[in-house]
Structure 1
Amino acid sequence: MSQAAEKTDRYISFEGIECDEQAQRVLHCIRDCTEAPQDGPSSSWTSYFERKLVEIARMGQDELFFVGSQVNYIRELFEHHGHRAGLDLLDQIEDECC
């Protein structure tokens, strides 16, 4: 079977796509950025996500919904911090789950 045929396709089935786990991993990457020591001035995205992470925990909000609704802001945070793994994961979750 070719690699293209092996790729999961959310339009056919979500089977084999771990969207909730991917969303939890994105939140972990966000925490990596917000907790990282700053060499220069702190990003406004850092304080924004510090507040948002507290809010979603308090409200018991679904992580996948949060990631889907904040994808552009998350991308800005990861780009600001040079978090390549976070950007790759965000691209994957956006492609497979959103």
Structure 2
Amino acid sequence: MPCNAAKTDRYLSFEGIECDAYAERVVGYIRDCIGDVENPSDWQSYFERKLVENAGMGQDDLFLVGSQINYIRMLFEHYEHYEHYEHGAGLELLDQIEEDCC
């Protein structure tokens, strides 16, 4: 039975899905979190290293986010990076990336 809904199938194409923009925002949130010296997380040094490694390998932000999604989730949970968080809704965006882009 054919579906007439205009839903993008992530397994066929990322067309219409802003995966790179989502990943760029998540990396910005990671940078905000690891820059917070008043509320340190055990994940700060880990992500400082991962950001350098990712850049050194020439990988894009989506690669980093996709390969570190569970660790990013733990970092964002430490900072309560929910919708009410002043810097944005990191956890909701992470869920969206996982659903649409990974």
TM-score with structure 1 length normalisation? 0.82
Partner in structure 2 of residue 14 of structure 1? 14
Rounded Cα–Cα distance in structure 1 between residues aligned with 2:91 and 2:17: 18
Aligned residues with identical type, % of pairs:
68
What's the CA shift string for 1:17-67, capped at 9, x where partnerless?
01111111110110111112424xx22111111111122122221221211
Partner of 2:85 in structure 1?
none
- Measure, in 1, the Cα distance between the counterparts of 2:35 and 2:57: 22
The structural deviation recorded for 1:6 is 5.2
| Separation of aligned partners in 2, 1:43 and 1:7 | 38
Which residue of 2 is the match for residue 55 of structure 1? 53
CA contact (8 A) 2:34 2:41 kept: no
- Across the aligned residues of Structure 1 and Structure 2, the Cα RMSD in angstroms comes to 1.6
Q: Which runs of 5+ in 1 are unaligned?
A: none
Q: 1:24 to 1:35 in 2, by over 3 A?
A: same
Query: AA paired with 1:19?
Result: C
- Note if contact 2:26-2:94 (Cα within 8 Å) is conserved in structure 1: yes
1:95 equivalent in structure 2: 99
Distance 1:79 1:6, change over 3 A: farther
Question: Shift of the alpha carbon at 1:7?
Answer: 4.7
Of the two structures, which has the highest relative contact order with CA contacts closer than 8 Å and spacing of 6 or more?
A: 1
Q: Distance in 1 between matches of 2:90 and 2:7?
A: 21
Query: What is the correspondence of 1:55-74 to structure 2 with a 5 Å cutoff?
Result: 55-74=53-72
Give structure 2 stretches of 5+ with no counterpart. 83-88
Residue type of the alignment partner of 1:71: I
Query: Could you say which structure has the higher helix fraction?
Result: 1
TM-score (norm 2): 0.79
